[in-house]
Amino acid sequence: MITINENYLKLEQNYLFSKIGKKVEEFQLKYPSKNLIKLGIGDITRPIPRTILEAIHKAIDEQSSISGLKGYGPEQGYGFLRKVIVKNEYSKFDIQEDEIFISDGAKCDTGNIVEIFSKENVVGIMNPVYPVYEDTNKMSGKENIVYLIANENNEFKPDIPKEKIDIIYLCFPNNPTGTVLNRQELTMWVEYAIKNKCIILFDAAYEAFIEGDEIPHSIYEIDGAKQVAIEFKSFSKTAGFTGLRCSYTVIPKQVIGYTSEGIKIQIHNLWKRRQSTKFNGTPYIIQRAAEAVYTEQGQKEIKENIEYYKENAKIIREGLINKGYKVIGGKHAPYIWVKVPKKYTSWDFFDILLEKYGIIGTPGVGFGEYGEGYFRLTAFGSRQDTIEAIKKIDEQEKV
Ligand code: MLT
266: left (phi over 0), alpha (psi -120 to 50) or beta: beta
Atom of ligand 1 nearest to the CA of 234: 8
Say if CB 20 and CB 41 are below 8 A apart: yes
Task: Say if pTM beats, i.e. exceeds, 0.75.
Answer: yes
pLDDT of 399 reads: 46
Protein residue with least CA distance to atom 5, ligand 1: 42
Atom of ligand 1 nearest to the CA of 40: 2
* CA 78 to chain CA centroid, nearest Å: 23
Per-residue pLDDT tens listing for the chain (399 residues)? 999 999 999 998 889 999 999 999 999 999 999 999 999 999 999 999 999 999 999 999 999 999 999 999 998 999 999 999 999 999 999 999 999 999 999 999 999 999 999 999 999 999 999 999 999 999 999 999 999 999 999 999 999 999 999 999 999 999 999 999 999 999 999 999 999 999 999 999 999 999 999 999 999 999 999 999 999 999 999 999 999 999 999 999 999 999 999 999 999 999 999 999 999 999 999 999 999 999 999 999 999 999 999 999 999 999 999 989 999 999 999 999 999 999 999 999 999 999 999 999 999 999 999 999 999 999 999 999 999 999 988 777 654
Does any ligand 1 atom lie closer than 6 A to the CB of residue 174? no
Does any ligand 1 atom lie closer than 6 A to the CB of residue 108? no
Does any ligand 1 atom lie closer than 6 A to the CB of residue 42? yes
Does any ligand 1 atom lie closer than 6 A to the CB of residue 38? no
224: left (phi over 0), alpha (psi -120 to 50) or beta: left
pLDDT of 397 reads: 66
What is the spatial distance between Cα 181 and Cα 178, in angstroms, rounded to a whole number?
10
